[in-house]
Amino acid sequence: MRAYKRFLNYAKVNTESADGTGKSPSTDCQWDLAKLLVEELKTLGMKDAKVSEFGVVTAVLPATPGCEAAPALGFLAHMDTAPAFSGAGVVPIVHENYDGGDVVLPKEGRVIRLADFPEMATLKGRTLITADGSTLLGADDKAGVAEVMTLCEELINSGAPHGKLCVAFTPDEEIGEGPNHFDVPAFGAKYAYTVDGSKEGGIEYENFNAASAKVEITGVSVHPGEAKDTMENALLIAMELNAKLPPEEIPARTEGYQGFFHLDEMNGTVAFAKMDYIIRDHDMERFTQRKALMEQVVQEVQAAHPKAKLELTLRDSYYNMVGQLKDCMHLIENAREAARMAGVEPTTTAIRGGTDGARLSFKGLPCPNLGTGGYNFHGPYECVTVEGMDTVVAILRNIVALYAKTEA
């Protein structure tokens, strides 16, 4: 079965994760896809296919005769979709022979406009898959799941030489909790790749350092008619706090290696307000400075409003994996060669985000990231192409073939 056909099935299963539930997986719906994947792995003939008590799906394909000395190689993708936009009731739409222009989606008046997403022009002539405009598509990262599953099927059916192959499908990557309960020694791989990037042929081994910052503001609420010199409006204090952060250092005005402060959520009343930020930077020194600035701003606003109460909770989420991969650059070189073998010129960019692989690299499993062939993630304009997914499977197959010729 081609990868896109699997993807069309997976996309219809809601796996939206949710922050702050205190459980793993964070949402019960992720179990639905996990159980489906375990049964599919068993049907393909994968060994030891199972799902852990924390929703991590794993399976093994033993080495073919003569390749037992090759390093055990892992491939991972995540099952959950981003809570930033609804993942419930996804209706995938297949657009054959895409004309390279704007794509009108049937729901909610949404259009994938070339002016907003210029890279769409490069997909002209391909078979495009989108959602209907009312949900995200889930190519991030069900396209990766489908590609890894298809790789397993092709290796089993072809009998092509390969070393030991370990696969995993994880929950809760989108909320930064995917590796929380990932057992690296039990997984059994010496090296691994996450398949969780964008354009096919993309190879990523640098990512943001990341932290979350939660600010809780307790104001003083009184009747507005009697508020003079007494009221402390928590909402206005929140606005004041945000205004003290650098206005140009937000996601909409940064790119490349530029870091940012991102106000992800804010809600409240006069009496109480809550602000959730994410803080990002590739450089550790600048990352540390950003966290210090957030602390300074909270202190300044607290000093200006002594009758109110401000509480800041800062928590590191993950770190840039580049340092963990410096002694394993063969992972990058082999991925580049594999892409060229598949007819694609590889591209290397710094991830403006993170992957499970970043945290796994710090847990002792070197794990760069590969593209899935998807675009415009985390919203209703998300898409993937049939041809791009086929190419990714070919790249994965080539990586396996290259490592089959080496010894651990």
pLDDT at 269 (0 to 100): 98
- 292 Cβ neighbours under 8 A, 6+ residues apart: none
d(CA 318, CA 23): 19
Q: Residues 163, 284: one domain?
A: no
Which amino acid does the sequence have at 294? M
Ramachandran area for residue 55 (φ above 0: left; ψ -120 to 50: alpha; else beta): left
- Whether pLDDT at 408 is above 80: no
DSSP string computed for 87-147: -TT---EEETT--SS-EE-SSTT-EE-TTT-GGGGGGTTS-EEE--SSS---HHHHHHHHH
pLDDT at 378 (0 to 100): 95
pLDDT at 406 (0 to 100): 85
Question: How far is the first Cα of the chain from the last one, in angstroms, to the nearest whole number?
Answer: 32
Burial of 198: CB neighbours in 10 Å, binned 0-12, 13-18, 19+: buried
Q: Which long-range contacts (CB under 8 A, 24 or more apart) does 250-257 make?
A: 255/352, 256/350, 256/352, 257/282, 257/283, 257/350
Token pair for residue 109?
């008046």
pLDDT at 272 (0 to 100): 98
Mean pLDDT of the chain: 97
Q: Residues 197, 303: one domain?
A: no
Residues in the chain: 408
Q: Residues 189, 167: one domain?
A: yes
Q: Residues 142, 221: one domain?
A: no
DSSP string computed for 89-103: T---EEETT--SS-E
DSSP state, residue 182: -
Question: Which tens digit of pLDDT belongs to each residue from 373-390?
Answer: 999 999 999 999 999 999
Q: Residues 336, 307: one domain?
A: no
Q: Residues 137, 203: one domain?
A: yes
The answer to whether the beta carbons of residues 167 and 74 sit under 8 Å apart is yes
CATH number at residue 131: 3.40.630.10
Last residue of a domain, one of 297, 317, 337: 317
Last residue of a domain, one of 317, 348, 369: 317
Provide the 10 A C-beta neighbour count for residue 352. 19
Q: Residues 112, 129: one domain?
A: yes
Active-site positions read: 80, 173
Cis bond before residue 25 (omega within 30° of 0): yes
- 3-class DSSP state of 196: strand
Domain that includes residue 377, residue range? 3-207+320-404
Report percent pLDDT > 90 for the chain. Answer: 97
- 154 Cβ neighbours under 8 A, 6+ residues apart: 160, 393, 397
Mean pLDDT of 346-357: 92
Mean pLDDT of 204-227: 96
Q: Residues 225, 165: one domain?
A: no
Residue 140 backbone phi and psi in degrees, to 5: -95, 90
- Angle between helix 330-341 and helix 386-404 axes, rounded to 10 deg: 130
Provide the 10 A C-beta neighbour count for residue 252. 7
Q: Residues 24, 116: one domain?
A: yes
Question: Which tens digit of pLDDT belongs to each residue from 20-68?
Answer: 899 999 999 999 999 999 999 999 999 999 999 999 999 999 999 999 9
Secondary element (H or E) of residue 214 = strand 209-218
Q: Residues 378, 367: one domain?
A: yes
pLDDT at 355 (0 to 100): 87
pLDDT at 57 (0 to 100): 98
Give the sign of the dihedral formed by CA 49, CA 91, CA 3, CA 206: negative
CATH number at residue 258: 3.30.70.360
Mean pLDDT of 184-201: 97
pLDDT at 215 (0 to 100): 98
Q: Residues 159, 258: one domain?
A: no
- Whether pLDDT at 354 is above 90: no
166 beta partners: 60, 74
Q: Residues 377, 250: one domain?
A: no
- Whether pLDDT at 353 is above 90: no
The total number of structural domains in the chain stands at 2
pLDDT at 401 (0 to 100): 98
pLDDT at 206 (0 to 100): 96
Mean pLDDT of 216-228: 96
Last residue of a domain, one of 288, 317, 346: 317
Question: Which tens digit of pLDDT belongs to each residue from 142-156?
Answer: 999 999 999 999 999
- Whether pLDDT at 370 is above 80: yes
What is the pairing mode between strands 191-197 and 369-371?
A: parallel
| pTM, to two decimals | 0.90
Question: Which tens digit of pLDDT belongs to each residue from 111-138?
Answer: 999 999 999 999 999 999 999 999 999 9
